[in-house]
Amino acid sequence: MARRKDDYDGCSNKDWGQRGSFREEEEGFGTGFQGSRMGFDPGYGFGQQGSFGQRWQRHGYRPRGARGFGPRRSGFAGRPGRGSARGFGSQRPAFKRKMDDMGRKGEEKWGAASSERNGGAGRVKVGEVERITRDSADLAQEKQGKTTPDYFFSRLAGLYLAIAMALNAFAQPVTNYLIKRYNMKPNAATNVANVFSGTYSFSPVVGAFVADAFCGRFWTLLFGAVAAFVAMVVITLSATIRQLKPPSCSDVARQAGTCAGPSGLHRAVLYIGMALLVVATGGANPTSLPFGADQFDHDDASSGSSSNEADERRRRAEEPAGLKRFYNWYYVVTMMASFMALTFIAYIQDKVSWGLGFGIPTALVAATFAVFLAGTPLYVRVPAEGSIFSSVARVVVASCRKRRLTLPHPRDARQQEAVLYNPPVVVAAGTGTSRVFKLPLTLQLSFLNKAAIVTADADEIRPDGSPARPWSLCSVQQVEEVKCLVKIVPVWISGVMWFISVAELTNYTFLQALTMDLHMGRSFTIPPVSIAAIFNLAIVLFVPVYDLLVARAAQRVTGVEGGITVLQRQGVGVAISGLALVVAAVVERRRRASALDNGGTSPMSVFVLAPQLAVMGVSAAFNMIGQMEFYNTEFPDQMRTLANAAFYCAQGASSYLATAVVNVVNARTRRRGGGQGWVAEDINAGKLDHFYYAMAVFAAINFVYFLVCSYFYRYKGEPEVAAEDSPPATPEAVLLKH
């Protein structure tokens, strides 16, 4: 088979380059076939588009190229070749055998698919690729015909609403529950609650690793739902069965310290329930959002065969809008769960019984889990792809080993990419993945680019194109994925700082509420913890307004999908958090003066605290949802579950750091004033308003820091500016569709 030089260009490093195409002139085969923009993909034999490797309607072959083979059943359409003008029918046995022979020859010649993540080579026969591609297309078409994002979201939203409500129903009042129901001493109850809270916050990291490396998102989510149900059953039983809880104790006896403490059995049952809640959090929290995003990623089978570029551009433009709405409404569901736990469930626990307060979310988890499970055949499920950290470690090790080498074309990313190890991205067979982004090389963190330098060693690359020593040679794709993780860290730190501001305001708002009038009307009294529900309610009310009105109006002005970018959205949230803290300081100054004038309890209504919580809720609608979207879009595609875990890690880290901030502030203010410090045990004796002002300054510092991070941040897939003497770079990451 002769090859002509003008048939392929841009080839480098033993692959077919980014724009390499291959044509074969043979009688009866039309004008030939053309590979995808990425050239020949190992394991697919003849490229991604216009290739022989895809069946159509279980007969013949369905290439996507406009020339050569067309989408008609009658055979080659579009432009018939030098064979019959009618083309070859899809059921011609001789032609089918010819295609099979060519597929086998292509597989033998160009090798098997190489896994960039594992650095190894796994052989996939062309026939198997055809079967997998056909099955995936058929399945995607079948699913798309039966389900829509709304159909899916209603099921996922119901399940996650119930799980989040169950988790909050126990996590929010855990200290109060341990003191009142288990007769623990305040310090002991606080220690148990702190250990539970810390483990609870960091468990999503473990769950994300398990999902991405071993079980997949769907099965990890299912396991988390089952763990949540079992945990709530155990906790409900511990609150209702007399043998599983200490005897009831009056407030007078509790203050006197004469209540009987929990026995070993009581503690064992309690800790088992708490441990299962931690498992449920690790399973459900990091996977629910990425699993939902997976439902937006599968391609329409019908559109996949179309060569209409305008339709494809429109489909790409619509997909991010759907995802943005999904991120917004997902967080609305989360806040609704917290709101219901802080109001309806908290009232039942405080006024009726702990058992009923735990039993209601338990029943909701069971009901929504059954509904979610019924739709299992229609969900898009992306299986695990192996360890997500091995590729990161390989890039670091390889770049260190080649630290003395000099990068070619250090100022031109495109020319440098042309000579580095840059094989096509290969999606593992059967993963169900609908898209993989081929990331362009960037000059940021260029030290890591050395991991992709191909040395003069003849044995460094195997005949099939995979690296012989994966810990010494990594692909450009692997390098850029590691850069994605490194670049996210500064923005993540800003997110932690924002969560500290939120934690300080919400924690001490509860203490303020204890010294205020809790009446709502003449006879109804709200639990002090329920005042925090205003924060959640503000988010629930503001997000639809933002999504339906503000974002659309801003989009008409800026031309940006969603009105503003995800980084701009986070920055707005950081700025508003400072305003919320200033409002809190002004309110606290009035509350403290009123309390001191009235014997320690202010006659002011507790709803005076609503403005600071509402403003902070608006801040959260910008920043928290912006963080979720940022992590899920900027993390490498195969690490999306870990991206969601990063959000919960920021919350967990802020819990510990918020305590450290209070300790530092108290230590400094005690030293100066000789009193109890700004944040005293008795807030009337301290100066909480000064602390709020200090936190507002902290928020301003965070805002400046975030602006600096945003200025230097380069979005994933954004190409470098081409040098003056080089051709223009591709304006976006290459999207490989399967």
DSSP secondary structure of 491-532: HHHHHHHHHHHHHHHHHHHHHHHHTSB-EETTTEE--GGGGG
Torsion of CA 351, 352, 357, 359, to 10 degrees: 180
Task: Specify the range with the lowest mean pLDDT, choosing from 185-189, 498-502, 603-607.
Answer: 185-189
* Amino acid code (one letter) for 374: A
Q: What is the pLDDT of residue 464?
A: 83
Extract the tokens encoding 536: 């959640």
- Give Cα 649 to chain centroid, integer Å: 12
Q: Is the pLDDT of residue 572 over 90?
A: yes
The answer to whether the beta carbons of residues 392 and 485 sit under 8 Å apart is yes
pLDDT digit string (tens) for 91-113? 334 434 444 454 444 444 333 33
**Span 611-640, mean pLDDT?**
89
Instruction: Give the residue carrying structure tokens 């001490």.
Output: 508
What are the boundaries of each domain within the chain?
1-110, 149-307+316-384+481-712
Q: Is the pTM of this model over 0.85?
A: no
Chain Cα centroid distance, residue 338? 20
Q: Which of 96-100, 335-339, 358-362, 524-528 tops mean pLDDT?
A: 358-362
Question: Model confidence at 592, in pLDDT bands (50, 70, 90)?
Answer: very high
pLDDT in tens, 413-453: 888 888 899 888 765 444 444 455 678 888 888 899 999 99
Q: Supply 713's token pair.
A: 């941040």
Report d(CA 202, CA 650) in Å as an integer: 9
CB pairs under 8 A, 24+ apart, for 455-463?
A: 455/402, 455/405, 461/13, 461/14, 461/421, 462/121, 463/111
Judged against a pLDDT cut of 60, whether residue 454 lies above it is answered with yes
C-alpha span between 249 and 261 (Å, rounded) = 10
388: phi then psi, degrees, rounded to nearest 5: -90, -10
CATH 1.20.1250.20 for domain 149-307+316-384+481-712: yes
Q: What are phi and psi of 235, to 5 degrees?
A: -65, -40
The most confident of the ranges 117-126, 502-511, 518-527, 567-576 is 567-576
Residue 438 phi, psi (nearest 5) = -85, 105
The pLDDT of residue 242: 86
pLDDT digits (tens, 9 = 90+) for 135-163: 443 444 444 444 455 666 677 888 888 99
Residue 728: band (very low, low, confident or very high) from pLDDT cuts 50, 70, 90: very low
CA nearest to 631, candidates 285, 333, 312, 394: 285
Q: What is the pLDDT of residues 666-699, one digit of tens each?
A: 888 887 655 678 888 788 888 899 999 999 999 9
Q: DSSP assignment, residue 721?
A: P
Spatial CA neighbour of 221 closest among 275, 143, 292: 292
Lowest-pLDDT choice from 41-50, 277-286, 556-565: 41-50
- Rounded distance, CA 352 to CA 389, Å? 49
Calpha distance 192→653 (Å, rounded): 18
Beta pairing class for 519-520 and 524-525: antiparallel
**Separation in Å, CA 90 to CA 30, 58, 250, 297, 337:** 15, 10, 83, 30, 55
Could you tell me the CA-to-CA distances from 173 to 181, 230, 246, 338, 359 in Å, in that order?
Answer: 11, 19, 18, 12, 15
CA distance 717 to 732: 6
